Amino acid sequence: MTELSRIHPALALAGRLRRGERALGGWFCLPEPGFAEALAHQPLDAVVLDVQHGLLDAASIVPTIAAVTRAGKPALVRLPVGDFAMAARALDVGAVGAIAPMIDTAAEARAFVAQVKYPPTGRRSWGAGTAMSLFGVETPTDYLHGANEATLALAMIETREAVEAIDEILAVEGLDGVFIGPNDLSIALTDGARIDVLDRQVDAALDRIAAAARKAGKIAGIFGGAAAYARAFRAKGFAFVTLGLDGMYVAAGVAAMRSEMGEPVDESGPARGY
């Protein structure tokens, strides 16, 4: 059997993260494959496609995943809440990981894993022809026997209930790790009072989650957003951190070019966060 990571570089991300290496991801919300491919050519390790809050859907992720993969980078998909069927669909068309939002319990994590891992770990249905073609995998057996290791199932931790259940969630067989949504977590932990990813309650929860992931030997990821936040989260031990998102990349590029021209730059505008 040929190891999938040797067949295509996008299939190496999971192994890298499991070995404790760090990865920096981009965040993409638009059904624009060309823009996604341009982003994938930047010095990033992966691109996350946001179906939950972005404008992507089940149809538009297909060419967008292909565009990112053509650039040699892995694409992950952040699902709509509870749509575990889309997780399997995303992997079938070439995503290397699925990020499931609002996972509060071990039972929900097991239901997620069941859809994205092949037996004996889960019950993912066979239909990976598009992924095989995209990656250049020649035999179904190679993909079948390698996919569980080469693809990622990441549960989003975004509520008080999830933080309390973090050890049980991380103990779910086949779950590769967790991915934090710090904006929703801050809303939950402040009982809807504010969005503040640096709130002391959020800070304590992030330390708890990162420590639990290390203890379980699993991956800890987080939506970084602005560079200052991403830097702070990386310092806390989160191995997979995303930086910014498509609108922020455009704004930062225009601001940098205006500054280079000597034109005034208005930096007071709000930064969107997902």
DSSP code per residue over 5-61: HHH-GGGGHHHHHHTT--EEEEEE-SS-HHHHHHHHTSS-SEEEEESSSSS--TTTH
- CA–CA dist 119, 125 (Å, integer): 9
Structure token pair of residue 144: 């079948």
Within the chain, how many helices (H) and strands (E) appear?
A: 14, 8
> How does the average pLDDT of the chain come out, rounded?
95
267: confidence class by pLDDT, cuts 50, 70, 90: low
Q: Cα–chain-centroid distance for residue 200?
A: 25
| Mean predicted confidence (pLDDT) in 25-47 | 98
Q: What is the pLDDT of residue 268?
A: 58
Would you say residue 266 has pLDDT above 90? no
Structure token pair of residue 52: 């939950």
For residue 70, being part of any structural domain is answered with yes
- Give percent of the chain with pLDDT exceeding 90: 95
For residue 129, being part of any structural domain is answered with yes
Q: Any idea what the CATH number is for the domain that residue 47 is in?
A: 3.20.20.60
For residue 77, being part of any structural domain is answered with yes
Known catalytic membership, residue 53: yes
Q: What is the pLDDT of residue 192?
A: 97
- CA–CA dist 261, 12 (Å, integer): 40
For residue 274, being part of any structural domain is answered with no
For residue 273, being part of any structural domain is answered with no
Q: State pLDDT tens for residues 177-224.
A: 999 999 999 999 999 999 999 999 999 999 999 999 999 999 999 999
Domain range for 75 is 4-261
For residue 151, being part of any structural domain is answered with yes
Total domains, the chain: 1
DSSP code per residue over 100-132: ES---SHHHHHHHHHHHS-TTT--PPS--HHHH
For residue 56, being part of any structural domain is answered with yes
